[in-house]
Amino acid sequence: MNDLPDPAAAVDPVRLAADLVRCPSVTPREGGALALLERALAPAGFECRRIDRNGTCNLFARWGRKGAPRSFGFNGHTDVVPPGDEGAWSRPPFGGEIADGWLWGRGACDMKSGVAAFAAAAIDFVRATPPDGAVILAITGDEEGPAQDGTVAILDWMRDAGEAMSVCLVGEPTCPDTFGEMVKIGRRGSLVATFTAEGVQGHSAYPHRARNPLHALVTLLAELTAEPLDAGSAHFEPSTLAITTIDTGNRAMNVIPARATASINIRFNDLHSGQSLTARLQDACRAVSAATGVGITPEIHVSGESFLTPPGPFVELVAAAIEAETGIRPALSTSGGTSDARFVKDHCPVVEFGLVGQTMHQVDERAEIDQIRRLKAVYGRILRDYFA
């Protein structure tokens, strides 16, 4: 691992990102990534504290006094998904190689380069123009995993410790094709439901002597997918419902099984809540069970509610800084999957902006060197404009 830059010099986000990529921090391993960041932040005057919970490592770092009237927060994660078949990579997944204008390795795109960019921007900013307020970095090692003891643990600790962010920017990759083209101002909610149907096993030649759980599941799934959940809302695309699996484990072609399961995933907008969708699914199960005589039990997990940070001063500040640095006016979007912004939104207004995300989670994941440096410049401008 390379030594950190001279504490008196501007922080090179590419070098810091490369060092982070060399940390094998596959969830839930810390891999040295948070320790590396602490060594970079502490000499610049950041008070660093590890907020570890249930084996998950997290880092809270604050420059400025606790309880400052204005506090700008950054949120991100240093954990990464597994590299998969390392033999399929053209460069070592944890090599952090810089070649052909790219930083190569697992996490280079999602999202160690984003963390490096906002850490570098924050360090340079507080050294050059110490603000009247606080700068907070909340960095987790549990975003790609269960996400129960990561950002949630940091926010729980902040609440108990009297720490607060006035606003927060999450550094996830947000741009589909061109750097600067998109800011996330919200996210859809996510719900997973597994339906277990219990019938009566029998011979397929005598179906009247059995109660077929598959017929009941097919009926249920057909009803759930017959009509769209909605037509979208002012800031959200229409909600979606996708059947993800149907399973019986039955290898006998002349036997009606006694049990079968099916799962769906719903990505929902602000016209719904996890509670309203749960009630809807439970009602559908009861109706099909009554009609077929097959018991259907739903197991439902809501991993996040939909949320929106409405366009206003904070969103405009971020968008204007991006346009000033890139020449592109970013679209305000709520598309994509979930992120830790779904937890931060209960603490303070939150938006997301980061790199182009085309290679995240892929073999040969990489980030363009120029983009990493430009991302640091955007974050630095956002800090200057916020505290101006």
Position 355, amino acid: L
Catalytic residues: 79, 143
Give the pLDDT band of residue 9 (cuts 50, 70, 90): confident
Q: Each residue of 110-120: pLDDT tens digit?
A: 999 999 999 99
User: From residue 336, how far is each of 4, 173, 182, 333, 339 by CA, in Å?
Assistant: 35, 11, 12, 9, 9
Q: How confident is the model at residue 337 (pLDDT cuts 50, 70, 90)?
A: confident
Task: Work out the average pLDDT over 148-165.
Answer: 97
User: Checking DSSP bridges between strand 259-268 and strand 307-308, what pairing results, if any?
Assistant: unpaired
Domains in the chain, ordered, with CATH?
A: 13-187+307-387 (3.40.630.10), 189-304 (3.30.70.360)
By CB neighbour count within 10 A (0-12 exposed, 13-18 middle, 19+ buried), where does 167 fall?
Answer: buried
| pTM for this prediction | 0.91
- Contacts of residue 100, defined as CB under 8 A and 6 or more positions apart, other chains included, come to none
Structure tokens at 354: 């980061």
Distance (Å) of CA 31 to CA 169, 194, 257, 258: 24, 34, 47, 46
Residue 148 predicted with pLDDT over 80: yes
Reply yes or no on whether the pLDDT at 289 is more than 70.
yes
Other beta carbons less than 10 A from residue 138's beta carbon: 30
Quickly state the pLDDT bin for 2 (edges 50, 70, 90): very low
**How confident is the model over 7-25, as a mean pLDDT?**
93
Q: Is the pLDDT of residue 5 over 60?
A: no
Helix runs in the chain, H state only: 13-21, 33-41, 113-128, 151-161, 213-225, 274-292, 313-326, 341-344, 369-387
Beta bridge partners of 266: 191, 241
Q: Give the Cα separation of 213 and 219 in Å (integer).
A: 10
Residue 7 pLDDT class (50, 70, 90 cuts): low
